[in-house]
Every structure is written in C-alpha cells, then in structure tokens.
C-alpha cells in the first residue's frame, strides 16, 4: 500500500456540504477563518459530482515508529541499517482495534463499506453519493475554485461526526481543507548545447568551464566525483515521482543520452502506474528532467517513473506551501510525514525538492512582503531529506530561488539540533520574528539547480529549480547503495542522521549567497548548515568512504571524454576540500 500513502499527496488538489438527524451527540469541525480567503471563491450552480471519495485518518501512535526509524538510521546505533519489514512497520502504526471497530460500525449503519487505504489500517477510504455525504457528515458540500490556478474542488465549511467516532478520527478528506494545489513550475529557457567532459590532467581541479553556463550529467559527474562505471548490484532501485499528467518520453531520453552520455548504450526506465496514471505521449519538462538526470547520472541503476512498490531511493519534485496545512490541517501533514517515516523505516531514502520561492514558499510570492516567511511541505517533514539548489562552479554558491527556512508544524529533530542552533547563533537578529526558531530546519543538502539541459520533444531546454537538484542527490545515493549492496551490506535508508553526523565532512560547504523573498534578503548561506543549502553538496568519493562502501578507484574513471577523477572536493570556501564542520 505504499502508493496510497505516498501518492495521497497527488490527490489533495484534485479530490473533490443538509443536516443529519443522527440521534447521537455530534462534534463539529469547521474550516479555520484563514481558509476563507480571496484565493478561493464559491461557484454557485456548478454541477456536483455523483460521488465523493473520502479518506478517513484513524488515530494511531507514531512514537514507536519514529523511535525505530531513528534507531536504524543512526550510524552510532548497533541497529544501524537493520531496516524493518513491512509487517513490522504495520504493527507499529496500526490503530487500536476499538478505533477500527467504532468507525466501521458507524459506516456500516449507514450502508457504507470502507476500504483499507493503508497497509497498517490507519487510513480508510469510502465512496459516498453526493447527497448522502451531506447527510452523513452533517455538511453542505459546494464547489469552490482556487482562483490563481483555476482549480475546482468540492469542499464544505464545516462537518460533524458522532462524538464516539470523532475521538478516533484525525481527519476526513476532502472536507474543510482549502489547500492550494501543489506547485513546481521550474524556469525554462532555450538551450543550444549539452556540456560534455573534457580531458584534463589529474592535477587540475577545475570543472569544464562550460558547466558555469549550463549543467549536464557530465558536469555533475566531474563536480561531485561520481563514478560512471555501470552499477551492478542486484536489488538496487531508484524511483522518480510524477504528478499532474507529467510524462517522461523514452525517445527524448534516448536522444538526450546519445549526446550527454554516449557511453550509456541501454539507458531505459520502467513505468508503474498509480491510481490510473499514464505515461504515454509527448514528454513534459518535469518528468523528462527527473528521468534524464537519474538515468544519466546514476549509471545503470534500475530507474522507475511513478513507482508502485517502494524503491530504495525515491525523489519527488512537487510540493506545497506549508502555511495552509499549519492553519487548517496539521494532522494531515503529520499523517503524510508519518507515511514517509514508514518508508524510511523499511529502508527507502525519501528525498523532496525544497521549493523554488526562496523564503516565500514553493514558488516566488510577493504577497508575503512584510509578513512571515512561508515554509514548504513535505520539505519540512523531519523524516525526509530536503534538497536545495546551488549555482556556479568556482565556487558553488546558493541559488537565490532555493527554498529554505523553518517549519511551523514540525519541531526541530534532535539529529540537526547542534547544526541549526549554531546557524541561529550566526544569524543573530537577522529576520527576527519572521520565522519559527524552534522549527525543523530545511533544506538538508543541496546540489546544482540552474540551467540543467534536457531534451523535450526533440528540442533542448535549460531548466532551473530544485526539481533538478533532488534527482541529482537521489542519483548519488543510488550509486552509494550500489556499492553497499555489492559489498553485501544494506542500503542507506533514511539519510538525515548520517548526514548530520559522519556525513558532514563528506559534503562541500556552501558559504555564499542567499534566498531572497517576502521583501527581504532571506537567509544567508554560512559556514556549516544554513537555511539555503543545508549541509552542502555531495562529494561521492568522501561519502563512499563514510558509508563503508569503500572509495571507487579513479572517481569518475571512464567518464565521457575520459576526464580523470578530481582529487579534491569543490572549493567553495577558499580552502580545498573544506566541508561543513558545524556539528
């Protein structure tokens, strides 16, 4: 049931309120005043759907799950990388039998049969005729439109549950959640060529100068010391999420690889459909970007678009502003975050792009000028790895659009406490009052994110955004997993406890740039972790040594153009090989 937990995100903006004579005491839940804003307007007279599909979240205790996740993800633990089985995770997160019985009895009395929507049983799904939905939930469902995106959704300003049912239900979706659709629209421009590797002596640390203007797989291979020898471990896998009718086109991939990675002669990907999704037709920017830069960087790692079963590494480049979740439905965000914790406990590394609006959210939004900064979700979930963006090669600096900051829902996890507290000390009074100083800090890491050259419909495009960065870091992790699996070891799983401890020295610290927004200069990059680039960018050779897979002789030996391995990590602070040393 992995798909139902993860891809629940994809239906938030797409899913679709007479009074009941229910004799028991009712508990009413209303939409917060903050949701009744100018972004949504009521559309009277609209044709209503025949049925509404609801998801009911049942209360369950996630503390044992989180404890187990952190235990198997901590390099200092004797249980490090001893990932849990699906059954073990389900047992840790199952709701109380009383909760299931009470809710299903209520539904059965109303002639409704529930479908279990998660393998642990903490989410149920029902299909209810429109008029019965109003009576069942004592609601008044109507059509609303999100004006900025012209997205239509059916919602109610209030609904009620019997008191004995309400105590077991965390949320009913969709009801009072006026949450704007996910956003991820990277900047696209015309590109003329794909930078390739150049032959150079091992003593030269400079990356191909063309990479300062645009990025290709060859640039990333040189910049981050990545291997190009084909991955060979059985059981390795890399997944790329796709939403909103995004399509990765195999012909575009073939043409792209023929130019960018001619040494890859069989670069392919598989497709697994979720909830009736399709991947046929002309390629689109987001999906092509994710596939071309995972297949093109994680050489020979089996890659899947729209994954049904949990891969070892999963990258997603869509997200939301956290603000409406914090105001209206924090329990919904927590449920989704716990779903990612389940994946991490089972050994999947879950990565999300941090967003492209600097401190103003998932996309640049001038409406927050003079107001508090806007975090993004799921990047703020403490059980995923959020990836920001950098630009330039000598040195790498923070990309101004790289979203980062602090959550208003999730508290700062222990694994990043010392790193974030040190940054807050450096920050002083800068941006005082505009962010939650006790919240989970993000992003965790970063990679290049400006002018990634891709092919769409036979034409080259340059793409900017953290949508490029998350697949890149995911490819690094997939290659590290390949080494571990070939050595008879377990995959990495949830990354953050490793990254914030032993991993720090294997990352290139980014110390210049900022992420402006909301009428401010945003957060500055700084020594150690910062709220623009996280802990920094990867050095594969150093990470390889840290995770115990052993260094790959020659680094990017065998890379296109015959470029030898770089002997040091990217110089981003004026000192060769400098790494974040804050915690």
pLDDT at 525 over 80: yes
Degrees to nearest 5, angle at CA 278 with 276 and 281 = 160
Q: Say if residue 4 is preceded by a cis peptide, omega within 30 of 0.
A: no
Residues of the chain with pLDDT > 90, as a percent, come to 73
pLDDT tens readout for residues 384-398: 999 999 999 989 999
Question: At residue 461, what are phi and psi to the nearest 5 degrees?
Answer: -130, 150
CA-based radius of gyration for the chain: 24
Write down the pLDDT at residue 3: 38
Q: For 109-113, 345-349, 568-572, which range has the lowest pLDDT when averaged over its residues?
A: 568-572
pLDDT at 197 over 90: no
Other Cβ atoms within 10 Å of 230 Cβ, number = 13
Task: Please give the average per-residue pLDDT across 301-310, as a whole number.
Answer: 81
Other Cβ atoms within 10 Å of 422 Cβ, number = 18
Residue 78 exposed, middle or buried by CB count within 10 Å (0-12, 13-18, 19+): exposed
535, 313, 392: which is closest to 543 by C-alpha? 535
pLDDT at 189 over 50: yes
Task: Please give the average per-residue pLDDT across 220-236, as a whole number.
Answer: 96
What are the tokens at 421? 């507290």
Write down the pLDDT at residue 284: 82
pLDDT band at 242 (very low <50, low <70, confident <90, very high): confident
pLDDT band at 2 (very low <50, low <70, confident <90, very high): very low
Q: For 274-278, 479-483, 541-545, which range has the lowest pLDDT when averaged over its residues?
A: 274-278
What are the tokens at 523? 């957060």
- Give how far Cα 572 sits from Cα of 443, 508, 563, Å: 18, 7, 21
């Amino acid at each position: 049931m992995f798909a139902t937990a993860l891809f629940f995100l994809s239906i938030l903006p797409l899913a679709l309120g007479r009074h009941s004579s229910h004799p028991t005491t009712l508990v009413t839940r209303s939409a917060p005043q903050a949701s009744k804003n100018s972004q949504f307007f009521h559309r009277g007279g609209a044709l209503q759907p025949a049925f509404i599909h609801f998801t009911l979240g049942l209360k369950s205790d996630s503390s044992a799950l989180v404890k187990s996740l952190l235990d198997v993800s901590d390099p200092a633990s004797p249980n490090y990388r001893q990932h849990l089985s699906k059954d073990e995770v389900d047992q840790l997160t199952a709701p109380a039998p009383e909760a299931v019985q009470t809710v299903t009895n209520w539904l059965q009395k109303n002639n409704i049969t529930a479908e279990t929507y998660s393998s642990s049983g903490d989410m149920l799904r029902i299909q209810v005729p429109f008029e019965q939905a109003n009576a069942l939930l004592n609601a008044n469902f109507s059509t609303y439109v999100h004006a900025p995106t012209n997205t239509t959704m059916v919602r109610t300003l209030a609904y009620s549950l019997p008191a004995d049912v309400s105590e077991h239900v965390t949320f009913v979706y969709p009801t009072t959640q006026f949450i704007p659709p996910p956003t991820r629209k990277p900047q696209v421009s015309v590109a003329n060529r794909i930078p390739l590797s150049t032959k150079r002596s091992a003593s030269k640390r400079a990356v191909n100068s063309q990479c300062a203007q645009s990025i290709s797989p060859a640039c990333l291979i040189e910049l981050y010391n990545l291997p190009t020898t084909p991955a060979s471990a059985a059981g390795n896998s890399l997944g790329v999420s796709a939403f909103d009718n995004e399509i990765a086109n195999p012909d575009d991939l073939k043409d792209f690889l023929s130019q960018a990675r001619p040494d890859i002669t069989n670069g392919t990907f598989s497709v697994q459909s979720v909830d009736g999704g399709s991947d046929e037709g002309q390629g689109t920017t987001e999906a092509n970007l994710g596939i071309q830069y995972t297949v093109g960087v994680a050489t020979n790692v089996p890659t899947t678009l729209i994954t049904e079963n949990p891969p070892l590494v999963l990258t997603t480049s869509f997200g939301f502003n956290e603000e409406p979740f914090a105001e209206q439905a924090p329990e919904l965000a927590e449920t989704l975050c716990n779903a990612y914790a389940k994946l991490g406990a089972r050994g999947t590394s879950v990565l999300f792009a941090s967003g492209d609006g600097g401190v103003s959210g998932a996309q640049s939004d001038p409406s927050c000028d003079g107001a508090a900064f806007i975090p993004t979700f799921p990047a703020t979930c403490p059980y995923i790895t959020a990836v920001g963006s950098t630009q330039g090669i000598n040195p790498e600096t923070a990309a101004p659009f790289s979203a980062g900051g602090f959550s208003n829902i999730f508290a700062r996890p222990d694994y990043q406490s010392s790193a974030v507290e040190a940054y807050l000390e450096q920050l002083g009074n800068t941006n005082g009052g505009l962010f939650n100083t006790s919240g989970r800090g993000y992003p965790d890491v970063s990679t290049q994110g400006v002018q990634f050259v891709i092919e769409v419909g036979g034409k080259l495009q340059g793409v900017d955004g953290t949508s490029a960065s998350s697949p890149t870091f995911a490819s690094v992790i997939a290659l590290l997993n390949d080494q571990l699996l070939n050595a008879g070891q377990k995959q990495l799983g949830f990354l953050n406890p490793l990254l914030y401890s032993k991993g720090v020295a294997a990352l290139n610290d980014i110390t210049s740039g900022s992420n402006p927004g909301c009428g401010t200069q945003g957060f500055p990059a700084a020594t150690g972790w910062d709220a623009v680039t996280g802990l920094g960018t990867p050095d594969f050779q150093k990470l390889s040594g840290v995770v115990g897979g052993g260094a790959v002789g020659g680094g990017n030996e065998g890379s296109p153009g015959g470029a030898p391995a770089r002997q040091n990590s990217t110089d981003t602070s004026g000192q060769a090989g400098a790494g974040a040393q804050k915690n």
